Amino acid sequence: MKNIVAIWEVNLSDGLHKIEFEHGTTSGKRVVYVDGKELIRKEWMFHLVGEETFCIGATKTKATIHIVSGKGYAFKYSLEIEGKSFSKYVENRSKTTNTWVLSLDGQNFTIVLEKNTMDVWCNGKILETAGEFVDDGTETHFTVGNHDCYIKAVSSGKRREGLIHTLIVDNREVPELAQ
């Protein structure tokens, strides 16, 4: 019987990953599951507090679960992603990525642009892209199935806002997923 004490869902460029943490508060047992697969198992730990570090996703993103004692015989669990608290990571991710969800030929696709590297992901796989400069910005071209796609980057005209990224598929703009 699993004693899951914490669950997090982490959205990475290669998709959504579910992290589950099992903690036996009498035995000290610790088990970390990512996407239903057991990554770490430790039995009979004498220290009931501490941390467990592991990697998730295709990019091997570093994650750490912190276990601290709370009031009485309770424990608190927190997740850190790439050295940031989970909430800070989620907030930062919305600034460093753009995500679009679309349906083509009866199939759903999730397109993610990593702004810091200009990598483009589709359904968990990184795509081959070709960048080109155009009159009002840049275009990053790629294909999804038999469809021509590009992400257009243009200046917002406002220093604080930076660039605006727009996904164009078959010459039609695709609205961005609200984060």
Cα separation, 142 vs 123, whole angstroms: 14
Q: What is the pLDDT of residues 86-129, one digit of tens each?
A: 999 999 988 899 999 999 999 999 999 999 899 999 999 999 99
CATH architecture of 4-82: Beta Barrel (2.40)
pTM for the complete prediction? 0.81
CATH class of 97-174: mainly beta
Q: What is the pLDDT of residues 43-75, one digit of tens each?
A: 987 778 899 999 999 989 999 999 998 887 789
pLDDT band with cut points at 50, 70 and 90 for residue 9: very high
**What burial letters (b/e) apply to 131-164, b meaning 16+ CB within 10 Å?**
eeeeeeebbbbbebeeeebbbbbeeeeeeeeeee
| The two domains 4-82 and 97-174 share their CATH topology (first three levels equal) | yes
Q: Which residue has the higher pLDDT, 131 or 157?
A: 131
* Residue extents of the structural domains in the chain: 4-82, 97-174
In the chain, what are the helix, strand and coil shares in percent, each to the nearest 5? 5, 60, 35
